[in-house]
Structures are given as C-alpha cells and as structure tokens.
Chain A
Amino acid sequence: MLAKRIIPCLDVKEGRVVKGVKFVNLRDAGDPVELASFYDQAGADELVFLDITASYEKRKTMIDVVSKTAEKVYIPFTVGGGIGTIEEIKDILSAGADKVSLNTVAFQNPDLINEGAEKFGTQCIVVAVDAKKNVEKDDWDVYIHGGRTNTGRSALEWVEEVEKRGAGEILLTSMDSDGGKDGYDITLNAAIAEKVNIPVIASGGAGEMKHFLEALTTGKADAALAASVFHYRQFSVKEVKEYLAKNGVEVRL
C-alpha cells in the first residue's frame, strides 16, 4: 500500500535556514544541507525548502543549496518560493530538486502550471494554496503574496482548476490554523481532498502527534507537512510515524 508521507519544511533565507533546528547535534544548525541530511536519516519521506529570500539577486544561492542537498539527500525534495518562470523551474530541477512549488505565480500566471507540467511532468509541479475561511460564502478564499492579499477566489474552485492545468500535487496551508499549534484544518483539508484526484499535503497547525493522525485520516490528506514541531524537537519524525502506525496508518518505518 501507498504510505502516508511526513514532510519537514525548512525556511531558507539567502542560503541559510531560519527558524533553525534546535537541540539537534549538528555542527551547523543553519546549514540547509546538513539539516536535510539529518531529516533523511531520521525517516522523513520528503523535504520542502521554502526560499524566503527577499531580493531577487540573492535567490540564486538557492541553486547552490539544491545541488549540494542532492549530493547528500536520497529522498525527494521540493523547492518553493520566488520561482516565477519556466527557466527558473528548469534551473531548480536540473540542480537536483524533484519538484517545485508554485504559489502566487501560479495564481497570477496559471499557464505556468500547464507549461511546467508539459515540459517536466505533472509530478514536478506542486501548487501551493493558502486558504482562509470565508464564513459568509461558506467557502475558503485563496490568498497570495504570503497571505497578504485576498484574491477573493474560491479555494474549492481554484484547486479544480490547478488540477486540470496539470498540477501533480497540492500543498494546502490553512491560514486560520497556520502558526498555531491547535491542529491542521481538517474541514478544509477534507473539502479540498474531495475536490481533486491528486495528492493533497496538509500544512499549518501541527502541534501534537494526534494532529497528524487527524489530517491523514478524517482530513483525507496524503501527506502532512510541519516545521517547528520537528525543528524544536517536540517530537521526532520517527515518533510521529510510530504513533501513526500504531493507529493503523500506513507509513514507512
């Protein structure tokens, strides 16, 4: 059976990990390559690098991070943040990343999803969707620009469109639960997962092990992404997976 995936996410700024991993015995806890390798050894199923470098010029450092990571990490990894053109997708993939994640650019220039999927395969194109509950519409709105702009577009509609355009996966972040530790937005997750026939990665809100269980069962997610609970060693990737296995979820141990 296909296993549910646990995915640590690393925020990278100008080639260095911010919100670094604490309490882990590493020579350099800010080195994305070393951290990625640590998570590979620890049983992570995939990794996501989110490039939060502000300036365009300095973003090229990410290519270097990607190729060095590919030399040491033998699980799939995705790079998101600031990728805007087919050439940039190509650069990231040829440096050794397996997938790219597109967010604001996918919304503003959705043809990039089609082009990327045609050129590199649907499995390479992840579309990140930041969604926030709209109580009046009984729906969720899609936000872009790192959550600063409400597009007014229905998330339920948008995910259907990105699937049709060739996205291979959806990285779904709930803005209502992101940053908190109260669990993934299970209602949002299940609603999105029922709309599409591609995998959905739940993101935002993981604080306890049971949150992962909820996302992967009632939330119908195929994978769960988390950052701080792993970086701050609240529990390890292995502990979550053992807990999930004990509760009947298929995971790679």
Chain B
Amino acid sequence: MITIVDYGMGNLQSVRNGFARMGYRTFVTDKPEEIKKARGIILPGVGAFGQAVKNLKEKGLGEAVKTRAREGVFLLGICLGLQLLLDKSQEGLDLKSGGLELIPGEVIKFRGKLKIPHMGWNQLKPIKGDPLLKGIKKGDYFYFVHSYYAVPQDNSAILASSEYGRDFAAVIKGAPFIYGVQFHPEKSSRAGLKILENFGELVYNGSHTSH
C-alpha cells in the first residue's frame, strides 16, 4: 500500500484522489509504526518549512520516513515534501532542527523582480531519464505553488528543472529511491496524474527490496 504521511500540513485528499484515479489505493497515517509497514511513502505538504519540521519531529514521523527511505522504500515528497528531503531551508531558520537530510543541499527563496509565490503552470525540462518521468515530454506543464526552491549539493540529483527567473530543481532524486517533485502532480491534470501512476508502478513493480 502507498502510505501518505499525515503530519498536519495541508490537504491530503487531492493526493489520494489522484492516486485513486490511476488505480492505486492509498492509506493516510500519522503513526510511525504504520510508516514502517509502508511499501511506498508520500510526503505531501503545503505550508511553512519550520512548522513541518516541528510536526514531523513531534510524533517521530520524520524518523520513521527517514529510516524506511534509507532501507529502500520508494518515497515521493510533494512540494514542501520535496523541500523537507534536504538538509535545511532559509524558511524557519529560527529552528535548530533541519530537514530530513535524505538529499544533501538546502532550500532557498526566490529573489529578484518576480511575483512570489511562483504560482501557476510552468514547463518541465527533463534532464535525466527516470521511470518516474516516463511519458513526460520536455515542455509539459505542471502546477506550482512555492516561494522557496531546492538546491541539491550535487547537480546530478536533479532529474528535471523548470524556469522562474532562473532554472531551479523541479524533480530531484536521491539514493536509493527518494524522489521529490516541487509541483503538485495531483493538481497538474493529465501530466501530473501520469507522474502519480509512474510512482505507483515503481512501488509495485520496480521495488528492489524484499517484503
């Protein structure tokens, strides 16, 4: 089962609906022991980084996600969920606790003469082939809502970029099967649903771990 981590940040129903549409059942939990049983994990999120880190820590959800992801379970961070995969963010610097440290790097704020948040449909520029991006073409549009973006230490972690004032990481991957998408696949119409379907396929057919 694909498990959606409920840590009190944003609405999870749309993500569930998206997977359901593509034929995948999901399970929402706020219990670390349930995450330990997950076959695939979704880390969603809308809101502020600092609050998310705090919420994840309180119930031990962050640790559970981290442990499972390192063991090889497929993980997909969406929007703020992507940002949480990194070490730290400029948002919520007052907190000593940082991100999940699953992908080295940091999260910084958009600067310059730009409307912030970056909100709306923007094009994806795939950089590396990956099963998560199967069927996605250069120039396909996805729906973004964010003011901060991830800067992985190692450029090779970037599977696809997008442009808003500058190129930024729109899809990232860390070893073994840790994925993050900065856009909302559940709100990105057909192209977004394809990503959810691809993730579902990875979880059920592409797993290299034994269960």
List the interface of chain A (C-beta within 8 A of B).
1-3, 5, 40, 45, 67, 70-71, 74-76, 93-96, 98, 120-123, 168-169, 197-199, 222-223, 252
B206 at the interface (CB under 8 A from A): no
Q: How many residues of B contact A (CB 8 A)?
A: 32
Q: In the assembly, what is the distance between CA of A147 and CA of B14, in Å?
A: 34
Residue of B nearest to A223 (CB): B120
Asked whether B188 lies within 8 Å of A74 as measured between CB atoms, the reply is yes
Binding site of A, secondary structure by majority: helix, strand, loop or mixed?
loop
Asked whether A71 lies within 8 Å of B17 as measured between CB atoms, the reply is yes
Q: Contacts of B122 on A, CB cut-off 8 Å?
A: 1-3
A3, A70, A74: the one contacting B120 at CB < 8 Å is: A3
Q: Considering the complex, which residues of chain B in the window 96-139 have a beta carbon less than 8 Å from any beta carbon of chain A?
A: 115-123
Q: What's the nearest-Cβ distance from chain A to residue B42, in Å?
A: 16
Q: Contacts of B189 on A, CB cut-off 8 Å?
A: 40, 74-75
B21, B121, B141, B163: the one contacting A74 at CB < 8 Å is: B21
State the total of A-B contacts with C-beta under 8 angstroms: 76
Asked whether B141 lies within 8 Å of A3 as measured between CB atoms, the reply is yes
A70, A93, A122, A222: the one contacting B17 at CB < 8 Å is: A70
Q: In the assembly, what is the distance between CA of A12 and CA of B13, in Å?
A: 22
Q: Contacts of B174 on A, CB cut-off 8 Å?
A: none
Asked whether B121 lies within 8 Å of A45 as measured between CB atoms, the reply is yes
Q: Contacts of A222 on B, CB cut-off 8 Å?
A: 115, 120
Asked whether B186 lies within 8 Å of A74 as measured between CB atoms, the reply is yes
Asked whether B11 lies within 8 Å of A96 as measured between CB atoms, the reply is yes
Q: What's the nearest-Cβ distance from chain A to residue B144, in Å?
A: 8
Q: What's the nearest-Cβ distance from chain A to residue B189, in Å?
A: 5
Q: What's the nearest-Cβ distance from chain A to residue B176, in Å?
A: 29
B46 at the interface (CB under 8 A from A): yes
Asked whether A2 lies within 8 Å of B192 as measured between CB atoms, the reply is no
Asked whether A3 lies within 8 Å of B121 as measured between CB atoms, the reply is yes
Given contacts A2-B164, A3-B141, A75-B143, contact A96 B17 (CB under 8 A): yes
Q: What's the nearest-Cβ distance from chain B to residue A103, in Å?
A: 20
Residue of A nearest to B142 (CB): A252
